[in-house]
Structure 1
Amino acid sequence: MDFRQPASSPLLWIILLIPYVALLWLPFYNDTHPSLMGFPFFYWYQFLWVPLTSLLIYIVYRGIK
């Protein structure tokens, strides 16, 4: 068995930082407007990142596999 990681582009790993930075910078999304279906921006912005983060993790996974 070979447990070494395959060589991959550092750009793939930087992609994983996108959701971290987007959610870490709280002043950017700490607002109530624009609202979406009655949800303030603060909430729907965070919920939007759940599927986006899953998609980015999948992209990185497929890139290193």
Structure 2
Amino acid sequence: MVTPVRVIIALCLLAPFVAMLWVGSYAKTDPAFIGIPFFYWYQMLWVLISTALTMIAYKLWQRDQRAQASQKGGAAE
């Protein structure tokens, strides 16, 4: 069953893959950040962003599962 919450979860999990597979968007040296070329710090930034997005997706999934369980429990009564 596709719900808006599940679409958001899918987007959270898909965004890092798209960002890292689109190499042309970050295959350059400028702008440098504290002497580190863009190519490297962009990828390291996505490690942090990916962690946050995965955590958000997990929390949304838990909420969705609890909501479905309560709906099933309420419907059975």
Same fold (TM over 0.5): yes
Runs of 4+ in 1 over 4 A off after TM superposition: none
Equivalent position to 1:52, from 49, 57, 70: 49
Structure 1: 5+ residue stretches without partners: 1-6
Equivalent position to 2:7, from 7, 10, 15: 10
Distance 1:46 1:57 in 2: 16
Larger CA Rg, structure 1 vs 2: 2
CA deviation after TM superposition for structure 1 residue 62, in Å = 0.2
Determine which structure has the larger helix proportion and give its number.
2
Distance 1:32 1:55 in 2: 26
Equivalent position to 1:39, from 27, 36, 41: 36
Structure 2: 5+ residue stretches without partners: 63-77
Distance 2:39 2:6 in 1: 33
Q: CA RMSD in A?
A: 1.3
The answer to which structure, 1 or 2, has the higher relative contact order (CA under 8 A, 6+ apart) is: 1
Q: Report how many residues are paired.
A: 59
TM-score normalized by the length of structure 2 = 0.71
